[in-house]
Structures are given as C-alpha cells and as structure tokens.
Amino acid sequence: MPITADHLTYIYGGNKNLITTAVDDISVTIDDGQFIGLIGHTGSGKTTFLQLLSGLIKPESGTVLIDGEDIFARKFDLHSIRGKVGIVFQYPEHQLFEETVFKDVCYGPKNMGLEKEEIERRAKEALSLVGISEEVYTQSPFELSGGQKRRVAIAGVLSMNPKIMILDEPTAGLDPAGRKEILGLVEKLCREQKMTIILVSHSMDDVAEYADRILVINDGKLALDATPREVFNHKEELESYGLSLPQVTKAMVRLKESGIPVNTDAITVDEALTEILKVLKK
C-alpha cells in the first residue's frame, strides 16, 4: 500500500496578513515496508505534513494517494482509511479517556465496526506488542506511569491494524530507557509486522540508527530525500536548516580534523567503532 504526496500544499491563516505556507508543494512516494525518518526544525511543517498524509486536514492544492486512490476526492470516504493509516501524535497519552486500559485500546477497532471477538483479539495483540501485561488491562489508564501510558496510547492506534504507521516524536519527554523501548517497538513493527513507518524525530542519532530513508523538511519544502548516509553527508546544508549531524558523526569529523585519518560517513555507534578500530590497526 504505497502512499504518495502529489504537489501537496497547505496554507494556514484566514487573515490575509498572517498567511504561512506550512507545506509547500511536496511530492514524495513512500513504498511498502519502508522506515522513513522525517526531520526538520520546529515549525518547519512536519506535523502539518503528517496530518495531510493521514487525511485529517484538507490541502490547499495537490493531493494524497493511498494505493493509487485520491483520498481527497469528493466521493472518497475518508473514514475508510482510518484503519489503514495510523497516526500517533505528540504526547499521545493525552488522548486516553476510557475507564480501563483494555477498553481504551478497543476504541479504535470498535469504531471500525468489527465483531466483539475480533475487537478483543486485536486489542490483546496490540497490548502484547507494546509489552503491556494482562494485569494492567483492568487498570485505569490514568494510574499508569508516563512510559506505560504512552505505550497504551500507541496500542490504541496499533489495534486498528494499520498498514502505515505515522509517529510524531513518540519519544518526547521519555527517559533513555523509555525511548529505547518505544524505538525498539517501532523497529519491530517495521521489520516483523512489515508496516510502513514514518517517524518524526528531533534526535539525529535515532533516525540515523533506524531509518532506511530520510526526508528533510525545511520551511514547508522537501529539502532532502535520501538514505541516512547521504543526508548526513550534507553537513552545511543541514546546519543551515537548523539541524545537525548525529553525535557519532560529529565525533568522527572532530577526529579527522585533529589528524586521525578516519572516514567520516559513519552514522551509528557500531559503524564508528569498526571504522576507528580499522584505523588504529593500520
């Protein structure tokens, strides 16, 4: 189920003096099973772009094609893509509302009009995927810890069995252990469940480690679209967008500047380690 943005443009503000083009003529195709990292500084239009992709807001011009179908066409029933494209917003735990964890996770599939057994099967599956044990099912979601709430909220989207999963900074405000858990889960969804993942993150290290392909958005425009290695080769360009390199790549650049002849295209800790060892052995 490929998802395509076709000359997408979105403009904020009815007041004529305060118009901002949040998304400016973006065209991109995302194929099945890809892990996309979406980066851009605050206010660059990432969140708006995601909302357009999931059909939550209507574009000024251009359109989104899911499976080749125009989701903004007049006859198209937007409700039908809710089960296909899942979106996890920033601080998704703020959307929890039911009395128990289990009921909350059932909300999505229930809206899809599924049978009771199927709803419960999906909820259990989603909750076990995010690592929530059965004794938590009957608790109120408001009694859980921050990390647990976040995982329950993600399960609430997963239970709809989406083919495409969009996550807007799912690790914001979590501790390192919580971050790792969430990112590990996202990777599992992509590699094992074959979901298409679009992950927004402010951490260059995270996108460098997990993504197959990185989209860089600057001022509403698609500035770069390439593999992580290629993207992080554009140091000056990234810095002009208010972004930076992953920590390890920065360290490698510093090493090279101080006279150690390392190759600076390492973007993960493991790559950097092998590269440094290789140079040291010489």
Partner 1 sequence: MFKDVTLGQYYQADSVIHRLDPRVKLAGTFLYMISLFVFNNIFCYIVSAILLLAVIILCKIPIGYMLKGMRAVIFIMVFAVVFNVLFTEGEIIWQFWIFHVSLKGIKMALLMVIRLSLLIISASIMTLTTTPNRLTDGLEMMFRPLKIFKVPVHEFAMMMSIALRFIPILSEEADKIVKAQTARGAKFDSKKLTDRVKSLIPLIVPLFISAFRRAADLALAMEARGYHGGDGRTKFYPLTYAARDYISYTVLLMYIGAIVALGITFSRLTAFLLQFFANTNFGNVLSWLF
Residues near partner 1 (CB under 8 A): 15, 51, 54, 56-57, 79, 82-83, 85-87, 89, 92, 94-97, 107-108, 110-112, 142, 156-157, 160
Q: What's the distance, CA 164 to chain centroid?
A: 10
Q: Are 182 and 150 in contact (CB under 8 A)?
A: yes
- In the complex with partner 1, the residue whose CB is nearer, 11 or 112, is 112
CB of 95 to partner 1, least distance (A): 4
- In the complex with partner 1, the residue whose CB is nearer, 79 or 254, is 79
- In the complex with partner 1, the residue whose CB is nearer, 50 or 243, is 50
- CA separation for the pair 36, 242 (Å, rounded): 20
CB of 166 to partner 1, least distance (A): 9
The contacts of residue 6 (CB under 8 Å, 6+ apart) are 27, 62, 63, 64, 65
- In the complex with partner 1, the residue whose CB is nearer, 110 or 229, is 110
CB of 108 to partner 1, least distance (A): 4
The contacts of residue 186 (CB under 8 Å, 6+ apart) are 165, 167, 170, 197, 199, 210
CB of 74 to partner 1, least distance (A): 15
CB of 20 to partner 1, least distance (A): 14
- Paired residues of 87 in beta bridges: 166
- Which residue, 122, 133, 135, is CA-closest to 193? 122
- In the complex with partner 1, the residue whose CB is nearer, 13 or 242, is 13
